[in-house]
Amino acid sequence: MHPVLDDLITLLKLERIEENIFRGDSRDIGSAQVFGGQVLGQALSAAQHTVEGRVAHSLHAYFLRRGDMKAPIVYEVDRARDGGSFSNRRVVAIQHGRPIFNFVASFQNPEPGLDHQSAMPDVPGPGELKDFSDVSPDDLSKLPQKMRRFLANKRPFDLRPVEPVNLLEPERRAPVKHAWIKTVDTLPDNHALHQNLLAYISDYELLGTSTLPHGLPFGRGKVIMASLDHALWFHREVKIDQWLLYAMDSPNASGARGFARGQLFTEDGKLVASTAQEGLVRVIEKERPTRSDPRLQV
């Protein structure tokens, strides 16, 4: 398996400390704090360790504090309910003695039922598109160091935007975007693992959709963004090592917050998951803030 993907899988497995307590490490992917998708994937993994024979169908989470990439994260699982068909788990992620993240997930015994879905958007396929990190050397040299490192680092996912991306001088456009996503290598046939990785990747790109009508120059460090909450619903079986179209839109931005929704489709048009997220979107008009600047606080 590709070593970067293998490292991510190891990161999501967690270490069991006690019956309902788990510990995970972090990876620096170039963000200002622990990547939210990592905490989502690890929290789901912690909850899955306490459930047998049932599959996650939804999760809802709040990001409370910035995660420290240099310290482990402890996940405490509350086995809230095991009913006849559904199980519910509450998870708190803790660092330095304080909660940084709250999470609730629901699990269900698989069963048949009514079946309909939204149609997949008509967009070019992944074979016609370039990877997100395919940036010219001239443009790359003009980006902040953290963003250059993020683009240069080998990643566990292949991400191919449908709409052109201009990190330096973005144009104002409708708050809608699409991207094809899959892992860089094949995975074991493990449903829980594919769900964990989808939870991880569901935090990529989503909140940025709310900035598209405003043409904000991310490459110049003028925008502070942080996830506040995140929801994910699994509709059908997920295979994250096969191409998925992530279709995103943002119906609203106000009060220094952006709201965005997403749907994930297989190449043959099956809707496998839906997402929703609200996050901080704070514009810095003048100098770039230092890490101690109160504008960076969520």
Residue with tokens 């960076």: 296
pLDDT at 28: 84
- Match 């490192």 to its residue by tokens: 149
Angle subtended by helix axes 3-13 and 36-48, to nearest 10? 60
Q: Spell out the alpha helix ranges (H) of 105-190.
A: 137-141, 145-152
Q: What is the DSSP letter of 235?
A: -
CA separation for the pair 199, 3 (Å, rounded): 20
| pLDDT of 165 | 77
What is the C-alpha R_g of the chain?
19
Residue-level pLDDT at 295:
44
| Through-space distance between the first and last CA atoms of the chain, rounded to whole angstroms | 38
Q: Which pLDDT belongs to residue 18?
A: 96
| Two structure tokens written together for 109 | 């015994």
Query: For position 78, what pLDDT does the model report?
Result: 98
Task: Report the distance separating Cα 11 and Cα 298, nearest Å.
Answer: 26
Give the residue ranges of DSSP H helices in the chain: 3-13, 36-48, 137-141, 145-152, 191-201
Question: Is the Cβ–Cβ distance between 228 and 278 less than 8 Å?
Answer: yes
Comparing CA positions, the residue from 205, 216, 228 lying closest to residue 277 is: 228
- Kindly report the backbone phi and psi dihedral angles of residue 193, in degrees, each rounded to the nearest multiple of 5, phi listed first: -65, -45
Which pLDDT value is given to residue 221? 60
What lies within 8 Å, CB to CB, of 57 at 6+ separation is: 106, 107, 108, 233, 234
Active site residues: 203, 227, 277
* Average pLDDT per 10 consecutive residues for the chain, totaling 298 residues: 94 96 91 90 98 97 95 97 97 97 97 96 94 67 64 83 81 95 96 97 94 79 86 97 98 97 98 98 69 50
pLDDT of residue 215: 87
Residue 176 near residue 209 (C-beta atoms within 8 A): yes
Instruction: Phi first, then psi: give them for residue 158, nearest 5 degrees.
Output: -90, 120
Scored b (16 or more CB within 10 A) or e, 280-295 reads bbbeeeeeeeeeeeee
Give me the domains of the chain, ranges plus CATH numbers.
Answer: 3-110+129-296 (2.40.160.210)
Closest CA to 166 of 188, 150, 193, 143: 143
Helix, strand, or coil here: 76?
strand
Instruction: Tell me what pLDDT residue 148 has.
Output: 64
